Amino acid sequence: MSIFCFDLDGTIFNSLDGIYYSLNYACEKYNLKLIPKKEFKNYIGPPLKSYLKSVINSNINDQIISEIIKEFRLHHDNEGYKYYKVYPKMIEVLSLLKKDNNLFILTNKPFNITCRSLEFFNLNKFFEKYFCPDKSSECIKEWSEGVVKSKNNYLRYIDLKTQKKISRYFVGDTISDYLATKESCFEFIYASYGYGNNINFKDMHRINKPLDLDRFLKE
């Protein structure tokens, strides 16, 4: 048995159409223009607030940013996520992995939309718990107040709850996902088909499509 943690955007979901659709909707309400979709995809992954100014062709203040994010969330969490696409063969891969392994979600997406999108695409049945920046499906009482619910902290937490002899993998598509594994016993599996720029480190695995995960079934 092994543990597999999965990022969502760029790893399980090709969420470009859904995120762009909802953000463009929010921008239009304020007469703002979003950069073209082919350029926008390079920003997906981190929280929206961290890159919003970079994808709008206008100077915007913090108040407008807050309003755009509010409009985006309202639209995206009710309509936009339905335009996601599950990467080809991902369902088959998850079905195989689920037989003998424990699967978790580790994402920068808020908890509620993580639940809603996985349920909409009937993927929730594969995962035991979700770990998100606002909360997780597991009550982490051991954490002291003020500890940031980041990917690296979640991985360390899962480490502490895991038998030492089993393998642990985090499947993600960005360098920030890779860096999140550096303070834990998780090995990084780089989903090169996702949104991140091409990365190559000696201490990581690489997959070019979801089906490439089948090689970890033999370990």
Nearest to 34, CA basis, from 19, 47, 45, 46: 19
pLDDT on residue 144: 62
CATH class of the domain at 16-82: mainly alpha
Written as one letter, the residue type at 219 is E
Per-domain residue ranges of the chain: 2-14+85-218, 16-82
pTM confidence score: 0.91
Q: 48-70, pLDDT tens digit by residue?
A: 888 999 999 888 888 999 999 99
The string over 24-42, giving b where at least 16 C-beta atoms fall within 10 Å of a residue's C-beta and e elsewhere, is bbbbeeeebebeeeeebbe
Q: Cα dihedral sign for 33, 36, 41, 42?
A: negative
**Residue stretches of the chain with pLDDT short of 50:** none
Q: How far is CA 194 from the centre of its chain?
A: 10
Identify the three-state secondary structure at position 212.
helix
Structure tokens at 71: 């409009």
Give the C-alpha separation, 29 to 12, whole Å: 30
Q: Say how far apart CA 159 and CA 185 lie, in whole Å.
A: 7
Per-residue pLDDT, 146: 65
Alpha helices in 61-110 (DSSP H): 62-76, 90-100
CATH topology of domain 2-14+85-218: Rossmann fold (3.40.50)
Summary count for the chain: helices (H), strands (E): 7, 8
Say what the pLDDT of residue 61 is: 87
Percentages of the chain per state (helix, strand, coil), in multiples of 5: 45, 15, 40
